[in-house]
Amino acid sequence: MHWTDERVELLKKLWSEGLSASAIATELGGVTRNAVIGKVHRLGLSGRAKTPAPAPQRRAKPTRTPSHPLRPQAPTPVIRGNTALAPQLTPLAAVEEQAEPKLRPVEDVVVPMSERVTIMELREHMCRWPLGDPGREDFRFCGSRVGVQGPYCSHHAAIAYQPIMDRRRDRDKERRLARA
């Protein structure tokens, strides 16, 4: 595989859209995320809009002795990554209005440890309990750790699997115990 003009263009596009290096590597195919990152650097488009604050200037102790002197830091890039996704400043009044904590549905209170992941973030070991309306932007999955196996975490598995027989058996058992 090599960097054709088309692949480079796609790389630029996806990178500017904020996709991770690994996501881009998957999209392109035939390359690793390392290759993508390397190319990004060579193209000089690293450093997407991230921390507006000046760099803390870390890397005080190189773990290896550089074979070449560090080249002087590149001039501050004039072009920042896309700002389209930058959070909009919210008027103070609006913030205060929003500050009042709202009562949460019982489910959210019972499962505060919910990770609430998107489908892209969903992993093999994560609970697939859907939260919200699929197709909506804020649709998520639970994302908590699943039990021994199965698609749900223990909490949602308990909700999902409630065979009628079990419920009646439990009820009967309780009645029996209460009598004894």
With CB under 7 A as the contact rule, the residue among 53, 70, 79, 178 that binds DNA is 70
Radius of gyration of the chain (CA): 25
Q: How far is the CB of 152 from DNA (least distance, A)?
A: 19
Binding to DNA in span 106-135, by CB under 7 A: 123
What's the CA gap between 130 and 117, in Å, rounded?
10
Which one-letter DSSP state was computed for residue 118? -
Residue nearer to DNA on the CB measure, 26 or 147: 26
Name all contacts of 115-122 with Cβ < 8 Å and 24+ positions apart. 115/142, 115/143, 115/144, 116/140, 116/141, 116/142, 116/143, 117/141, 117/142, 117/143, 120/23
With CB under 7 A as the contact rule, the residue among 10, 12, 27, 33 that binds DNA is 33
Residue nearer to DNA on the CB measure, 34 or 90: 34
Residue nearer to DNA on the CB measure, 69 or 169: 69
Footprint on this chain of DNA (rule: CB under 7 A):
1-3, 20-23, 31-35, 37-42, 46-47, 58-59, 61, 63-68, 70, 123
